[in-house]
Amino acid sequence: MADRAIVDKIIQALAEYLKRDAGTIKAAHHLRDDLGLDSMAVIELLYKIEETFDLQIPDQDLVGLTTVESVASYVEGRLAPAKLAVKKAASNPAMAKSPTKRKAK
């Protein structure tokens, strides 16, 4: 299962879009079959998710995004490389230090 914080943010975005209580939306819900989103609504939702998580979702990736869980797993996978880069920088003291300034002569 995807990170609960990511699932919660996606559910919140759906709840706002659908004007529903977030408690009625589950990770297993299908975007079209269970939540009634049409093609345009799915695209609008994914645009909101792009804004929320500061990422771009290529058109070819849209096909696999059918449930709340699949969207959350996709977002988590896209965010993982960024988190890994931050962890590597933090664990490498040479990368974490700011460059020293040279004094003018």
70-97 pLDDT tens trace: 999 999 999 887 665 555 556 655 544 5
Whichever domain contains 9, its CATH number is 1.10.1200.10
**Residue 104 placed within a domain:** no
**Residue 91 placed within a domain:** no
**Residue 65 placed within a domain:** yes
31-40 pLDDT tens trace: 999 999 998 9
- Number of domains within the chain: 1
Residue 33's pLDDT is 95
**Residue 72 placed within a domain:** yes
32-65 pLDDT tens trace: 999 999 989 988 988 989 999 999 999 889 888 9
In three-state form (DSSP H/G/I as H, E/B as E, the rest C), the secondary structure along 43-93 is HHHHHHHHHHHCCCCCHHHHHHCCEHHHHHHHHHHHHHHHHHHHHHHHHCH
Q: Which domain holds residue 52?
A: 4-80
Residue 85's pLDDT is 56
Phi, psi of 30 (to 5 degrees): -80, 135
The pTM (predicted TM-score) of the whole model is 0.74
**Residue 100 placed within a domain:** no
3-state secondary structure of 24: helix
